[in-house]
Amino acid sequence: MAFAGALDAMENIRPFYTDASMKTLKPMSEFKVAFMAMPQTKREMMMRECQDATMSKPYAEFCADTSQWLSASVPPERDQAAWSSQNRTRGGERNPQPK
């Protein structure tokens, strides 16, 4: 029996893509806003699934972006207001290159 997870629910991942074809992820600044707008329980489910190699395989790019910005930002249990105020001065570039 196959289990459909949070990543398989189109209503959960659609906000992270630029169009209906879901081929291109939004810029990191918009990606962050969409992620933090989700209920914490959904964010946690998605993060757990991204850590599972089998479940995350079809969503590799999404999971890579989630992992990248979470490792560089605040813990997911922080609320939107705290996250926003802390990140007002941070850049929103995708995949910033080290200098």
Question: Is residue 52 in a domain?
Answer: yes
- Summarised one tens digit per residue, pLDDT across range 2-12 is 457 899 899 99
Total domain count, the chain: 1
Question: Is residue 95 in a domain?
Answer: no
Question: Is residue 66 in a domain?
Answer: yes
**H or E element at residue 8:** none
Q: Which domain range does residue 67 map to? A: 6-84
pTM score: 0.62
> How sure is the predictor about 92, in pLDDT bands with cuts at 50, 70 and 90?
very low
Bigger pLDDT: 17 or 65?
17
Buried (b) or exposed (e) across 43-71, using 16+ Cβ within 10 A?
bebbbebbeeeebbeebeebbebbeebbe
- Summarised one tens digit per residue, pLDDT across range 47-87 is 999 988 888 888 888 898 888 777 666 544 444 444 444 44
